[in-house]
């Protein structure tokens, strides 16, 4: 696999960090979770006893985010634990964390300290606000950065008020960009022979995702309001009701609109002035009203068949059951069967990165707490059995 020559030491917890290391593990990186003895990282506790959302003693968060990983229990707060960690760093390529700013320095495992024992080490920290600036010490979770990043202000409508994204894009965006930063640093290391630190702020990511919409604001000075399922530019581009559900129609550009008015038999939409985007946008509410009234006459399947035949961009608004059973999703391997330690298996989202020259993704079970401590420290680092027993007796490893 593409990253099978890379070893990641995973110090992450909760969602943003574990998602970033999950992406690297899915691409083949050996990913070793370094967890506190006894309790492990915090995500292990989430939903672990929920009868609907846990399997084999592991909740949905943990079991999804930690597939393809190994678990080693080391107490980094003890000097002996820190020495074990430095031994791991000597053989590793990446250290990935999402601690609060300052934690790695207090533990003596920040990039400057780790680079003394392995100059090639790449470190990555995903935090709410980054390592610099006036807000570094503020705590942050997903919805905080969604709100501060501006995205919530355009989600929903003026009537509903701001709404967060249903998908935790603040956390997942931080983890995704963390993985991208790590890959960039690894490529740079091939040129320089030295690692570096990757500093990812979840708020930075949210600002980046504003993309062209932020540029439109800088150009016009106009602060956008909630646009619901509509678009800042294109019409028709919205979620429309049908007789039995909802459908998305996305006519980007005048050419698609001309094709659309040939498809839908509504004379009012054939007005010559509607061939121009600025006119359509000015009359957006009326156009959406006309389309909604027409689409309500038939069920979703009827309209999808006709729209697809006319090659007009469209799609149903799927619930989870429909989305995860979509033939295209299944054909792309996006529903993966992941084994569990007890020998059963569980379905979850697959790996979206398809590489033509690398082996396809395979999935290993999420590890029980400390399951690979002896294998990693003994077989990989060469610690003798009596040393492992002594460390375990001192509570340094678990």
What would the pLDDT profile of 288-339 be if each residue is shown by its tens digit?
A: 999 999 999 999 999 999 999 999 999 999 999 999 999 999 999 999 999 9
- pLDDT score, position 384: 98
- pLDDT score, position 136: 94
Interatomic CA distance for residues 269 and 251, integer angstroms: 13
Count how many Cα atoms sit within 13 Å of the Cα of residue 307 in the half-sphere of its side chain.
21
- pLDDT score, position 263: 86
SS3 state at 317: coil
- pLDDT score, position 72: 98
Residues tagged active-site: 231
Interatomic CA distance for residues 353 and 332, integer angstroms: 10
- pLDDT score, position 253: 87
CB 151 within 8 A of CB 210: yes
What does pLDDT average to in each consecutive run of 10 residues of the chain (398 residues)? 98 97 98 96 92 95 97 98 98 98 97 98 98 95 97 94 96 98 98 98 98 97 94 94 97 91 90 93 95 97 95 96 98 97 97 95 95 98 98 97
SS3 state at 237: strand
Alpha helix stretches (DSSP H) within the chain:
16-26, 60-65, 79-91, 103-107, 111-117, 142-148, 169-192, 202-220, 254-263, 277-282, 284-295, 300-309, 320-325, 327-331, 373-374, 385-393
User: How would you classify the pairing of strands 122-127 and 94-97?
Assistant: parallel
Name the residue with tokens 């330690």.
341
Q: How far is CA 151 from each of CA 86, 142, 218, rounded to the nearest angstrom?
A: 40, 12, 16
Write out pLDDT tens, residues 243-271: 999 999 999 989 999 999 988 889 999 99
């Amino acid at each position: 696999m593409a990253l099978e020559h890379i070893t990641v030491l995973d110090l992450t917890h909760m969602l943003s960090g574990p998602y970033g290391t999950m992406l690297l593990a899915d691409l083949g990186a050996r990913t070793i979770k370094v967890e506190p003895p006894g309790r492990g990282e915090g995500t292990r506790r989430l939903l672990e006893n929920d009868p609907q959302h846990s399997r084999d003693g592991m909740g949905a968060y943990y079991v999804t985010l930690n597939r393809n990983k190994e678990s080693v229990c080391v107490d980094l707060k003890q000097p002996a634990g820190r020495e074990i960690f430095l031994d791991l760093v000597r053989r590793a390529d990446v250290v990935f964390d999402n601690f609060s700013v300052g934690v790695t320095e207090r533990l003596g495992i920040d990039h400057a300290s780790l680079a003394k024992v392995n100059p090639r080490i790449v470190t990555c920290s995903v935090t709410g606000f980054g390592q610099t600036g006036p807000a570094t010490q503020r705590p942050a979770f997903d919805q905080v950065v969604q709100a501060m990043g501006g995205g919530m202000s355009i989600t929903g409508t003026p009537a509903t008020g701001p709404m967060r994204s249903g998908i935790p894009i603040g956390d997942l965006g931080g983890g995704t960009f963390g993985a991208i930063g790590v890959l960039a640093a690894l490529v740079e290391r091939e040129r320089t022979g030295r690692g570096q630190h990757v500093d990812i702020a979840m708020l930075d990511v949210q600002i980046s995702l504003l993309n062209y919409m932020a540029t439109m604001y800088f150009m016009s000075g106009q602060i956008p309001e909630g646009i619901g399922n509509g678009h800042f530019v294109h019409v028709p581009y919205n979620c429309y009701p049908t007789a039995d559900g909802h459908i998305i129609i996305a006519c980007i550009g005048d050419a698609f609109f001309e094709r659309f008015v040939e498809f839908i038999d509504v004379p009012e939409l054939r007005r010559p002035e509607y061939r121009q985007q600025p006119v359509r946008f000015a009359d957006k509410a009326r156009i959406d009203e006309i389309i909604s009234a027409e689409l309500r006459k038939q069920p979703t399947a009827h309209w999808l068949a006709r729209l697809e035949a006319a090659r007009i961009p469209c799609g149903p608004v799927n619930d989870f059951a429909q989305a995860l059973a979509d033939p295209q999703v299944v054909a792309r391997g996006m529903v993966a069967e992941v084994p569990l330690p007890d020998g059963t298996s569980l379905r979850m989202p697959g790996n979206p990165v398809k590489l033509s020259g690398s082996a396809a993704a395979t999935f290993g079970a999420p590890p029980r707490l400390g399951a690979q401590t002896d294998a990693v420290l003994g077989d990989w680092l060469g610690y003798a059995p009596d040393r492992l027993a002594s460390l375990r007796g001192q509570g340094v490893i678990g």
